[in-house]
Amino acid sequence: MAYGYRYDVGSLQKTGGVRRKKDGFSMLGLLKEAAIGGVMGGLAGAAFYGAGKALGFLKDSIKDVRGNKGGSPTVNKPSVRTRINNLPETKAPNAIKASDVTNAWDDYLGSNTTNIHPITGKPDPNRIFSSDATRSIRLGNHEMKSFGTTKAHFHYEKWDYNAVDDIMTISNIMQRFRE
């Protein structure tokens, strides 16, 4: 007649690899055996159904903090809720000739430009953006008022979007130009 679970550990006991079992019921022993059985059963299930399928079921059963299945974060797009991080303005070391301004803009932005703001999605009257919306030239009223003075300038801007944290970091270089 069998009493509970028993293992043949005779050879291991002789070498000292296993402690001798105490007689009687042990709640801790039962919990250990249940945990080991669960793990072994899970591994056997993964092998039986295919590790990929088992991991797929596991992945689909886990939701990340944003509510997506599979644990991958939401990929945001810039919107009016996007946090803006304006870096301190820097100054270009040398002024350029007024006759070279539009060539400098073309070199910086590329040939395909737009005035659509990457965050609002609406036309921006003060900026010209590259087609991928990662660079812009800022030329608003403040800059226009400086024309004809020794302080004439425009701004090169770089737009770096962190889609995971929904943050747009904008750096800008003030570029003076002279006649």
Q: What is the pLDDT of residues 89-129, one digit of tens each?
A: 999 999 999 999 999 999 999 989 999 999 899 999 999 99
pLDDT 10s digit of each residue in the chain, 179 long? 555 555 555 555 555 555 555 556 666 776 677 666 665 666 555 555 555 555 555 455 444 444 455 555 566 788 889 999 999 999 999 999 999 999 999 999 998 999 999 989 999 999 999 999 999 999 989 898 888 888 999 999 999 999 999 999 999 999 999 88
Q: Which pLDDT score, from 0 to 100, does residue 23 have?
A: 58
- Other Cβ atoms less than 10 A from the Cβ of 78: the count is 19
Q: How far apart are CA 70 and CA 96, in angstroms?
A: 52
| 162 phi, psi to nearest 5 deg | -100, 100
Q: With residue 127 as reference, give the H or E element that holds it.
A: strand 127-130
Residue whose entry in the numeric block shows the structure tokens 């800008």 = 172
Distance, C-alpha 61 to centroid of its chain: 22
Q: Hey, what's the torsion of the CAs at 84, 90, 96, 98, to 10 degrees? A: 40
